[in-house]
Structure 1
Amino acid sequence: MLHHIHYLDKKSAAFLSEALVKHFSHQPAYTEIVVVCIGTNRYPGDSLGPMVGSRLFERLEGSRYVHIYGTLDKPVHALNMQRTLAYIANRHRRAYIIAVDACLGQFYKIGTLQLVDEPLQPGASLSKELSSIGHIHIKGIINNHGPLNHKVLEHTSLTFVNEMAAVISRIIVKSSQEIIPRLLSIKHAESHVSS
């Protein structure tokens, strides 16, 4: 299922965080949340994920229940994605995974945030075949899809991307605050598996 709303809509954070929490409530039990923010700090248009990751790291650092991968200092991108996903699969076996990425779309959809109830296919707009990520994902449409997608990513407003990142980070913080009390304790999860 796809939920979408423009990032400037005052209801955007509440609307998408409610949809995210609803999706979580239909899933099997998890013990933690992992947020994987995809992108690079080399192009403004592809920095949405790392900007979200850096904001979340500031807000949620020290939380034993929420783990952030992909920041401006340590981005997760095509070159290190397989290694990062293998590490997450090994270290966070019972995690509810939320993926975040920028994407290109039709001109009239620029600024739209999409919450999609399925794994993210990163690199799709650049015709890259990369591993799918997450139980659910959030995409921000940052610019127009066209024949010169690499150039579009280079010439996207950094201010615009930063504003979208602020809204996405609010969505994830808000939904995490609601999800954390519903997470299974690790001891309970281990006894659940052994029984």
Structure 2
Amino acid sequence: MNMLKETKVSYFNPETSLASFHFIHTLKSCYKECFSLNKHLVILCIGSDRVIGDCLGPLVGHKLSSLLKSSDISIYGTLNNPVHAKNLNTTIKKIRATIRNPYIIALDSSLGTNSHVGCVTLGKGSLSPGIGTGKSLPQVGDIYITGIVNESGINNIATLQTTHLNTVMRLADFISSGLYMSVRPSKAR
């Protein structure tokens, strides 16, 4: 789950006709800083593969790792190797130690209002994974992407466990497609 460090956030409803176009365009404008400063793009997909409402990150990481196999973009957090509460600190340290000048896109599922369920958020700044379930984890990301998988309520852990897989899959398809389209071909910058 996340919390914004900066205030500007864009919402995208994958069900609307131009959402994909606007998502890709907004991503490309966020990347300007990354590529103008010659930073290495890292996509950090946070979540657990054991809870439907929290598996958005690993699903996106899984999809992107096959789509961007031959690129110079680093992807952390897949179905085979998820990045979750227990290994997030270690993963962040590994990224900082092994990648010179990383530009991190942090991606996680989140809970929100009923009217935003099924939407994607994108913004500059970091997110705080685990905040919706009461975990204290480090903030991470130069930009963040979240998929709002369900409505926030009294028992968010139970809510994540009873989230519809269809919602998570639609968000994973939208986000992975948008990320892929916004960075390919990498030589075109």
User: Do the aligned partners of 1:30 and 1:96 also contact (CA within 8 Å) in 2?
Assistant: no
Pick aligned residue for 1:9 from 10, 16, 38: 16
**Structure of higher CA gyration radius:** 1
C-alpha spacing 1:87/1:160, structure 2 compared with 1 (3 Å): same
In the alignment, the residues of structure 1 paired with residue 103 and residue 17 of structure 2 have an alpha-carbon distance, to the nearest angstrom, of: 27
1:58-93 residue CA offsets vs partner (Å, 9 max, x unmatched): 101121x21110011110000000110000001112
1:72-128 residue CA offsets vs partner (Å, 9 max, x unmatched): 111000000011000000111222211110000011110111001111211111121
Q: Which aligned segments of 4 or more residues in structure 1 are displaced greater than 2 angstroms?
A: 178-182
Q: 1:178 deviation in Å? A: 6.2
In the alignment, the residues of structure 1 paired with residue 187 and residue 17 of structure 2 have an alpha-carbon distance, to the nearest angstrom, of: 25
In the alignment, the residues of structure 2 paired with residue 180 and residue 52 of structure 1 have an alpha-carbon distance, to the nearest angstrom, of: 23
SS of equivalent to 1:30: coil
User: Do the aligned partners of 1:21 and 1:178 also contact (CA within 8 Å) in 2?
Assistant: no
Query: Is it true that 1:33 corresponds to 2:41 in the alignment?
Result: yes
Aligned to 1:156: 163
Q: How many residues end up aligned between the 2 structures?
A: 181
| TM-score relative to the length of structure 2 | 0.90
Query: Is it true that 1:140 corresponds to 2:147 in the alignment?
Result: yes
Query: Is it true that 1:57 corresponds to 2:96 in the alignment?
Result: no
Q: Which blocks of at least 5 consecutive residues in structure 2 are unaligned?
A: 1-7
Q: Which blocks of at least 5 consecutive residues in structure 1 are unaligned?
A: 183-195
In the alignment, the residues of structure 1 paired with residue 128 and residue 103 of structure 2 have an alpha-carbon distance, to the nearest angstrom, of: 17
User: Do the aligned partners of 1:38 and 1:77 also contact (CA within 8 Å) in 2?
Assistant: yes
SS of equivalent to 2:184: helix
Pick aligned residue for 1:105 from 91, 99, 112: 112
Pick aligned residue for 2:174 from 124, 143, 167: 167
1:131-154 residue CA offsets vs partner (Å, 9 max, x unmatched): 111110110110010111011111
Aligned to 1:47: 55
Aligned to 2:3: none
SS of equivalent to 1:159: helix
In the alignment, the residues of structure 2 paired with residue 178 and residue 113 of structure 1 have an alpha-carbon distance, to the nearest angstrom, of: 24
The CA RMSD measured in Å over matched residues stands at: 1.5
Q: Percent identity?
A: 33
1:17-48 residue CA offsets vs partner (Å, 9 max, x unmatched): 21121122145513421100000011100000
